[in-house]
Copies of this chain bind each other. A is one copy, B any other.
Amino acid sequence: MSILAVGSVAFDTIRTPFGEAKDIVGGSLTYFALAASQFTDVNLVAVVGEDFSEKHMAVFANKRIDLQGLQRAPGKTFRWGGEYSYNLNDRETLFTELNVFESFQPKLPPSYRQADIVFLGNMHPSLQLSVLEQVESKRLVGMDSMNLWIETTPSELREVLRHVDILKIDDSEARQLADEYNLRKAAAKIHAMGPKTLVATRGSHGSMLIADDELFVAPAYPLEDEQDPTGAGDSFAGGFFGYLAQQASLDNGVLRQAMIFGNAMGSLCVEDFGTKRLQRLTHDEILDRYRSLKRLTHFEDL
C-alpha cells in the first residue's frame, strides 16, 4: 500500500520567538511526505528549481519516499517566509515567491498511476484535478486546501471536491467553505459537496472528524516546549493518511486511530524547527506519543 502525494516543496524562512531559520527545505508536501513515510511508501509529485541542490535533497534521503515524480524546472524554487507571534498562535506571512511552482504541471510517472491513497496537497484546484485525471485506479482520495482557493477559485474547488473522500482542512476554512460557523452543520454542507468525511484541524486544540455516522474529537497533545508550528497541519495529514494506507479496512475505529496518529505527528513536528524533528523521528517515539494521547484522554465509562 502506498500514497501518491502531490503539493509544494519550498524553501522556508521562519521566525518564531525561539529562533529563526533561512531558506530551509519545507513546503507542505515535504512535511506530509516525511510524516507519511513513517507508515507507508510515498510517491512524491512536486517541482523544485535549479537552486535545489543535492544537499537539499538529503531531506528525503533514507526514507520511504520515491522521488521519480519530483520535477526540476529552470528557475528558482518556491520560497515562503513567515513570522509567529509570541504565543505561536498567530502567523504573519512575510513573503511568498511562487517561482517554478507558478507554472507547475504535475506529471505522474507510469508507476504512480495505480495508487492506493491519493493525497492532493494544498495548491490550485486545477492542478489537483489534473492529478486525479492521470490516476488510473485508487482506493481513496484525500485533499487539503486553504482560504486562498475558497476565495479565488470556488468553482474549480467545487469540481475537485466532487471526487474527494476525505477533506482535511483547518476548522476556520471548513467554516468559510460551508459559509456556516457551527462545525457540525458546516460538515453536513461539505458532505453534500462530495467528501463524506471532514477532518477539521484546530491548531493547538486538536482535531475533529465528522461523517454521517461518526463524530470523533481528538485533543492536541499539550506540549511544554513548542519551537515552530510550521508544517504541523501537514504532518497531521501525513500521519493520518499514512496510517490509513497501511490498513486493510477503513472502518470508523481505524479512522479514529488515524486521527490520533495525525495528532501525534503534528505535535512531534512542532518540537523543533522546520523538519528537524520529523527527520530524526523513530517509530517508537510515534508509538509513545500515541500512548500518551491515550493516557491523556482516557476516562472510565459509567
A interface residues, Cβ below 8 angstroms from B: 86-87, 181-185, 202, 205-206, 208, 215-220, 222-226, 253, 256-257, 259-260, 287, 290-291, 294, 296-302
For the complex formed, measure the closest distance between the CB of A170 and the CB atoms of chain B, giving whole angstroms: 14
How long is the Cα–Cα vector from A290 to B290 in the complex, in angstroms?
A: 24
Query: Which B residues touch A223, using CB under 8 A?
Result: 182, 184
Query: Which B residues touch A181, using CB under 8 A?
Result: 86-87
For the complex formed, measure the closest distance between the CB of A212 and the CB atoms of chain B, giving whole angstroms: 14
Query: Which B residues touch A259, using CB under 8 A?
Result: 299
Residue with the highest number of chain B CB atoms closer than 10 Å, among A205, A206, A226: A205
Write the chain B residue with the least CB distance to A258: B299
Known: A185-B224, A290-B302. 5 other contacts (CB 8 A): A182-B223, A182-B226, A215-B296, A218-B297, A294-B299
For the complex formed, measure the closest distance between the CB of A302 and the CB atoms of chain B, giving whole angstroms: 6
Query: Which B residues touch A206, using CB under 8 A?
Result: 205, 219
Given A202-B205, A205-B202, answer yes or no on A300-B224 (Cβ-Cβ < 8 Å).
Answer: no
How long is the Cα–Cα vector from A2 to B205 in the complex, in angstroms?
A: 34
Residue with the highest number of chain B CB atoms closer than 10 Å, among A182, A202, A220, A257: A182
How long is the Cα–Cα vector from A208 to B185 in the complex, in angstroms?
A: 26
How long is the Cα–Cα vector from A291 to B32 in the complex, in angstroms?
A: 35
Residue with the highest number of chain B CB atoms closer than 10 Å, among A181, A183, A253, A260: A181
B222 lies within 8 A of A219 (CB) = no
B256 lies within 8 A of A299 (CB) = yes
B217 lies within 8 A of A297 (CB) = yes
A183 lies within 8 A of B222 (CB) = yes
A224 lies within 8 A of B182 (CB) = yes
How long is the Cα–Cα vector from A299 to B252 in the complex, in angstroms?
A: 10
Write the chain B residue with the least CB distance to A221: B217
How long is the Cα–Cα vector from A107 to B144 in the complex, in angstroms?
A: 59
Query: Which B residues touch A301, using CB under 8 A?
Result: 291, 294
Query: Which B residues touch A217, using CB under 8 A?
Result: 219-220, 222, 296-297
Query: Which B residues touch A226, using CB under 8 A?
Result: 182
Candidates B220, B296, B299, B302; contact of A287 at CB < 8 Å:
B302
A299 lies within 8 A of B222 (CB) = no
Query: Which B residues touch A300, using CB under 8 A?
Result: 253, 256-257
Given A206-B219, A219-B206, A253-B300, answer yes or no on A224-B291 (Cβ-Cβ < 8 Å).
Answer: no
27 contacts between A and B (CB under 8 A): A182-B224, A182-B225, A182-B226, A184-B222, A184-B223, A185-B224, A202-B205, A206-B219, A208-B222, A215-B222, A216-B296, A216-B299, A217-B219, A217-B220, A217-B222, A218-B299, A253-B299, A253-B300, A256-B299, A257-B299, A257-B300, A259-B299, A287-B302, A290-B302, A291-B302, A294-B302, A297-B297
